[in-house]
Amino acid sequence: MLNTLSGRFLILTTVFVMLAEILIFVPSISRFRLDYLADRLERAQIASLALLADDMLETELEAELLENAGVFNVVLRRDEVRQLVLSSPIPAPISGTYDLRMSSPFALIGHAMQRLVTPENQIIRVIGAPVRDAGLLIEITIETDGLRDAMIDYGVRILLLSAVISIFTAVLLFAAVRRFMVKPIKGVIGYMQRYAAAPEDARGIIHPSAGVRELREAEEALMQLQTELTQALKQRERLAQLGGAVAKVSHDLRNILTSAQLFTDRIEMSEDPLVRRLAPKLVNSITRAVSLCEGTLAFGRAEEPAPTFGRVALYGQVEDILESESLAGGTEGRIRFLNEVPVDLSLRADPEQLFRIVMNLVRNARQAIEATGQEGQITLSAREDTESWWISVADTGPGLPPKARENLFTPFQGGIRKGGTGLGLAIADELARGHGGMVVLRETGPEGTVFDICLPKGDGTL
């Protein structure tokens, strides 16, 4: 019970109500003491009226009047004359004098608390104003036993009443909390448990129904989380199926390309100058295609292989990429390719992986320009600083749409053109991060797009 929300709420409510009642009890007991003393003053004033009616009273009658009033002496001051009206022997010295006419609330509270903690019976003098202005003041002498007993009796009754009120309030709040908070929370927990048992089942997604704003916000956040997770699981399943299919296709394609690689050996022996010039490029392209198929098959079993670092002459590699893309797209005359990489620049990277990084970015740029049906230009440049090498791929295409910018390096979501998969940027980013670097979108807009490839110097790791 103590470990439940409603149980702790019940206990805390009882404690807080009791604390509030204690704060009310202190001024209440002070007020009770003041009323008690004022009542004794009024009784003493009434008893003194008998003497005012008859100057001579018998001793027995005077004693009876004092006993009924609960006092030892009564003093009245009228017309600046102080007169002892009724008197009897005082059993002990007077221990204190309290003037009710000049006491502040804090003084009254202090006197009341002092009386509660003082168990000894004492004789005190009390001064007050007579009822209906029947004189300047009235003064009485009383003992404190009756006062303290009455204050304790009143305090006990107040505390008992406070306990009943606090328990009743706590029970009501306990029921309210269980109805309006605990029950909806248990409902949310039930949804979470059912969803955890079968996250692919969309029927387990919570439907917000709470009336409390905070709980409804929690339910809506949970619904969004469950929806996104269910979609991600479905997409993951589809990707797993797609991966199996790609692995099968890559296996067969590798065999076909291996056979084609054998035929290209004969092409190299041709006497035709054009064939002899293009044959090495064809051999290199088929070799890279075979390596890519083998890498795809390896990717189905593990992650992208770690890069094998070596010195790369970037200018020649960029020339191969631009020439291949120019031939692949058939874009002679419509798209210009500019290689502004310094001829003497070399960097430390995996040659094949760097080729794939740059090729993917150049291919995306070419396809973006082709989609517009207009002329364009793709420019590759490079520079280095004390810490990194920077390769820039700039195009004059239409720029990236908002959806592509939001999911830039997410497979199957960052596609730029219709029918694109978005794998090119994802692969380029993964390979760059394998070098300890990154691919950064520097700018994009109607004037074109610029990507930067950052490869750190040193040991090639961040």
Query: Where in the chain are the domains?
Result: 5-170, 213-299, 307-456
Write down the pTM of the prediction.
0.43
The answer to whether 209 and 52 are in contact (CB under 8 A) is no
Q: Which residue has the tokens 């009658």?
A: 61
pLDDT in tens, 350-360: 998 999 899 98
Residues (pLDDT < 70) of the chain are 1-6, 50-59, 79-81, 133-135, 201, 241-271, 274-279, 281-283, 286-288, 290-305, 328-333, 411-423, 459-462
- Give the tokens for residue 440: 């950064």
CB within 8 A of 289, min separation 6: which ones? Answer: 253, 257
pLDDT for 418: 47
pLDDT for 370: 86
pLDDT for 381: 95
pLDDT for 84: 74
- Would you state the torsion angle of the CA atoms of residues 57, 59, 63, 69, taken in this order, to the nearest 10 degrees? 10
Q: How far apart are CA 38 and CA 115, in angstroms?
A: 16
> Going along 306-349, which residue ranges are E strands?
310-313, 335-340, 346-349
Q: How many CA atoms lie within 13 A of 128 on its CB side?
A: 20
Residue 91 phi, psi (nearest 5): -70, -15
- Would you state the torsion angle of the CA atoms of residues 111, 113, 116, 121, taken in this order, to the nearest 10 degrees? -20
Residue 368 CB neighbour total at 10 angstroms: 23
Distances (CA, A) of 322 to 104, 169, 318, 337: 97, 81, 6, 6
Q: What is the CA radius of gyration of the chain?
A: 49
Helix (H) or strand (E) holding 394: strand 388-395
Q: Which fold has domain 307-456?
A: Heat Shock Protein 90 (3.30.565)
Residue 331 phi, psi (nearest 5): -105, 25
pLDDT for 135: 67
The answer to whether 360 and 425 are in contact (CB under 8 A) is yes
pLDDT for 384: 93
The answer to whether 336 and 377 are in contact (CB under 8 A) is yes
